[in-house]
Amino acid sequence: MELQKNTHHVYRILYHFVWIPKYRHKVFVEPCRSHLKAIIAKVAYDYDMEVEEIEIPEDHIHMMIKAEPKMSPSRIMQIVKSVSAREFFRLYPEIKRKYFWGGKLWTQSFYVETVGNRNEVEVREYVRTQIEELDKVQSSLSQLRLL
C-alpha cells in the first residue's frame, strides 16, 4: 500500500469493516449484490474515500477502504450506511417492504480494524527502539562534526 498525501498530511490508513443488515436477512443476492457494491463505491468516491476490496455475502458486508485521517471510522460507517441504505431502498422498494418494514437497512453495530504493512510485533519493536535509533543518529552526526 503506497503513501497518500494531501495538503497537510502524509498517511497510509486502510480499514477493514464488517457490518450486517437489520435482522441479518439474507437479501444480498444478484443483482442486489452488484448494485450495492456500485452504490458503496460511488459513496466512497463522493466522500474522497477509496474502496480497495469489497465482498457481499448474502447477509453481511466485508470492505477494505482507504480514508483520510480526518475521517473517523464511525464517520465513515455513518456515511456509507446512511447513503447506501437510502439508495438501496430507492432501487429495491419491494425488499424494504418485505424485510425492512421498520425503515432501517443496517444495524447500528459494525466491526473495524486497521490494516497495515507491518504486524503488531514489528510496530512494537519499532516503537521500543526509537530512543536507541535516535541516539545512533545523533552519535553519527556528532562524529561527523568532529571531522
Return phi, psi of residue 12, to 5°.
-145, 90
Tell me, yes or no, whether 110 and 132 share the same domain.
Answer: no
Top-confidence residue, 30 or 11? 30
- The residue written with cell numbers 497510509 in the block is 12
**Domain ranges, residue 146:** 118-147
Question: What's the CATH code of the domain at 88?
Answer: 3.30.70.1290
Contact 59, 21 (CB under 8 A): yes
Contact 105, 85 (CB under 8 A): yes
Pairing between strand 4-5 and 10-11?
antiparallel
Tell me, yes or no, whether 88 and 46 share the same domain.
Answer: yes
Q: How many domains does the chain have?
A: 2
CA distance 50 to 33: 19
Q: How does pLDDT run across 52-96, given as a tens digit for each residue?
A: 999 999 999 999 999 999 999 999 999 999 999 999 999 999 999
Q: Which three cell numbers stand for residue 143?
A: 562524529
For the chain, give percent helix, strand, coil, nearest 5: 50, 20, 35
Tell me, yes or no, whether 59 and 125 share the same domain.
Answer: no
3-state DSSP call for residue 51? strand
Q: How does pLDDT run across 18-39, given as a tens digit for each residue?
A: 999 999 999 999 999 999 999 9
Confidence of residue 118 (pLDDT cuts 50, 70, 90): low
Contact 16, 66 (CB under 8 A): no
Whether residue 107 is predicted with pLDDT greater than 60 in this model: the reply is: yes
